[in-house]
Structures are given as structure tokens and as C-alpha cells.
Amino acid sequence: MHRSATDPRPRVLHLTQPVGGGVARVVLDLTKAQLTAGLRVTVACPGGELAEGARALGAEVRGWRADRSPGAGLPDEVRRLTRLLDEVRPALVHAHSAKAGLAGRLAVRGRVPTLFQPHAWSFEAVGGATAALALRWERWGARWAHRVVCVSEAERATGVRAGIRARYTVVPNGIDTGHFTPGNRPAAAPLVVCVGRLCRQKGQDVLLRAWPEVLRRVPDARLALVGDGPDEAALRRLAPASVEFAGAVTDVRPWYRAADLVVLPSRWEGMALAPLEALACGRPVLVTDVDGARESLPPGHAAHCLVPPGRPGALAGAVAALLLDPELRASLGGQGRRHVLSTHDVRRTAEAVAELYRELLGGRPLVSFECRESIHS
């Protein structure tokens, strides 16, 4: 049941595309915390698991048809969003990831408090002229964000180096430490697990190129790729028989708990959730030195758990060394669990975002959102 227009509580609009993976997890965690705190929450997205999850939590969900990447349909997407904003009349708009950040800022243009959370910068995901256009937009669009929320200090620093002049706030990613907990690992051959969308960003191709060297040093090792995505067919062509494609799963915890080592060989990130989840389950992680990686790790772990991105040889050496040292893995896993409990609990993240909302909304009456003019005006 929708609240009446006279309900005095602020309405937050979360706007997002994509609707799966880590971005959806962050939006759902924030939605849950904000509903519990008494805010009215609307989630606008193109459907998918995010819409289903938000409805299950009790949020209002509005369909917003939008492709994942910018294209010729962008003007229509912005017009649809403009109409949606006029109907929802949010007190604050929180736009997640590059596409929603683009369309959302074009539709709102600063009329109400607007947060943009990139979840990794768009210009890192592309190359050539497309990267240059993405960077130009991020520099221009920053004027329409009352705050840019970065999930790591490294992500903020990347934006600053790129010339994006904005008011930044760093809120590290958090995970539900009551959901992701340690469990017994079944006795079996050494297992490496990689959790993530099968795409260039996550770097599974680098891991597969490293895998023959891992097998040379640890012949009975197995690798499981958990997730689906556009690169699955190409990755299968690279994979030997010791690699399992587990597909998308509704509960990833059994895979973390079965792992001897969790690896995320990303080419870029803001701060990935998978390493935090694995650490919360008491498993050691090996990650590439991209934005947010060092900040995810406990102090002292970088020497064993961090490698340069895009280098199969370095990755293979680190994987094999950890698989051959069970005492070190056990120590790293225990330290990781304690680190996540103290630093990356989702309740800390939700409270930091709530404080930011209070700052942007504090002392002012709720805004009646009027946004009827054309995006070309």
C-alpha cells in the first residue's frame, strides 16, 4: 500500500541500472536499512532481481525501461524518468552506477538533493573515444550531483586525478556479517573459487591463462567460476577440464565455505563485494591491485593477497603459493573475518549513508518535485 501524499516522512528514490550483481546488493541493503529507519523508499529500475528483492522488502518499485549502456535511446529514457520523478516526487535521489547516474542527473539537474554513486568509474570500463566521452560527461555532470559517493578512497582519488570536480564522500562497501559466516570446508582437493559476472571487468580470462601454471605446481587443484555473463562462451574455450562453470547461484555462501582460496582478478573496481563476503566467511582472498582492493584487505595482507592486474604469471605464482601453505591460509582467513566485522559491516555503511542524507535534507522542508520541462530546454 502506498503512503498518502501527506505522509511527512522523506521519500528516497534509488535509481539504478544495472539490476544485478554488486550494485543490486548495495541498493537492497540500503533499502532494507532505510525502510527499517522509517523512510519511504522507491526503487526505479528496469526490473530483474533488484525489483523482486525491493518489493519483497516492502519498497515501492517503479519500472524504468533503460539499456545498460548509453545509446540512441537515452533521450527517451530521460523523458520516461522525468515523468516518473514528477509522479514520485522524491525528497532525495540516489543514482547508482554510470547509466542511472547519466540519465538521473539529466532528468533532475540539481532540483532536489542528488547523490551519484559510480560503483567504479565509467571511463575505466571502455577505451578510445568512448572513454574520452565518458570522462567529459563525468566532468560536466558533476555539477548536478550534490554529492558523489565513492566506495573507496582509491575510487575518489581516481575521480580527482581524472579532473572530476565534485563534493566527494567516501562510504566503504559493507556486507551482512550475520549472513556471510564461516562454515566447515569439506575434505577435498584444493579448490579456488572466483565469484563474479563473467565479463572483462572481472578478469576471469586472466585467471584461466594463469591456471596451467597453477596446475603445474598444484596438480590436483580445481577452479570454480561462479556467475554468468556475456563472456561465458569465450571463457569456456580457454578452460581446461579442472575448471567448473557453476553459473549464477541464489546463495553463494556454500561456494565460499568450500573454497581454500577465493580469487578476484578484476581489471577495475570501486570496491568489490566478493572479497568482503569471502573474508566474512573466514576464507583468504587474492585480489588484483585495483581501486578498493587494498582498502578491503586487513593490514599486512597485501604482501600475500595482492597482485598487479592483467598479469597471469604473477597471479599464478600467488595462487600456487597460497594453496601450498595451509597454515598461512588459515591465519589470513581468521584475520579477514575479524577485519570485516570491525570495518565492513553493512550497518556501518547504512548509517554513513543515512548521515549523508540527513546532512543534505537537514533543516529544509520536503521538496515538491516539479520536473515537467523537456531535456532539451
For domain 11-174+346-361, give the CATH superfamily: Glycogen Phosphorylase B; (3.40.50.2000)
- Would you place residue 9 in the very low, low, confident or very high pLDDT band (cuts 50, 70, 90)? confident
pLDDT beyond 50 at 226: yes
Cβ-Cβ contacts under 8 Å for 171 (sequence gap 6 or more): 149, 150, 151, 349, 352, 353, 356
Q: How far apart are CA 88 and CA 42, in angstroms?
A: 8
pLDDT of residue 128: 87
Q: How far apart are CA 277 and CA 280, in angstroms?
A: 5
What is the value of pTM for the model shown? 0.88
**Contact yes or no for 202/264 (Cβ under 8 A):** yes
Which residues of the chain form CATH 3.40.50.2000?
Answer: 11-174+346-361, 191-343
pLDDT of residue 211: 98
Percent of the chain with pLDDT strictly greater than 70? 94
- Would you place residue 135 in the very low, low, confident or very high pLDDT band (cuts 50, 70, 90)? very high
Q: How far apart are CA 151 and CA 273, in angstroms?
A: 10
pLDDT in tens, 243-260: 999 999 999 999 999 999
pLDDT of residue 5: 54
Q: For strands 147-150 and 114-117, give the pairing.
A: parallel
Residue with cell 547461484: 249
What would the mean pLDDT of 53-59 be, rounded to a whole number?
Answer: 97
What would the mean pLDDT of 265-276 be, rounded to a whole number?
Answer: 96
CA dihedral (5, 106, 267, 194) positive or negative: positive
Q: How far apart are CA 368 and CA 286, in angstroms?
A: 48
The average confidence (pLDDT) of the chain is 91
Q: Say which CATH class 191-343 falls into.
A: alpha beta
pLDDT beyond 90 at 362: no
pLDDT beyond 50 at 365: no
Q: How far apart are CA 361 and CA 353, in angstroms?
A: 12
Q: What is the DSSP letter of 144?
A: G
pLDDT in tens, 85-121: 999 999 999 999 999 999 999 999 999 999 999 999 9
Cβ-Cβ contacts under 8 Å for 181 (sequence gap 6 or more): 253, 280, 281, 282
pLDDT in tens, 288-319: 999 999 999 999 999 999 999 999 999 999 99
pLDDT in tens, 319-355: 999 999 999 999 999 999 999 999 999 999 999 999 9
- Specify the 3-state DSSP secondary structure of 44: strand
- Would you place residue 127 in the very low, low, confident or very high pLDDT band (cuts 50, 70, 90)? confident
**Contact yes or no for 152/295 (Cβ under 8 A):** yes
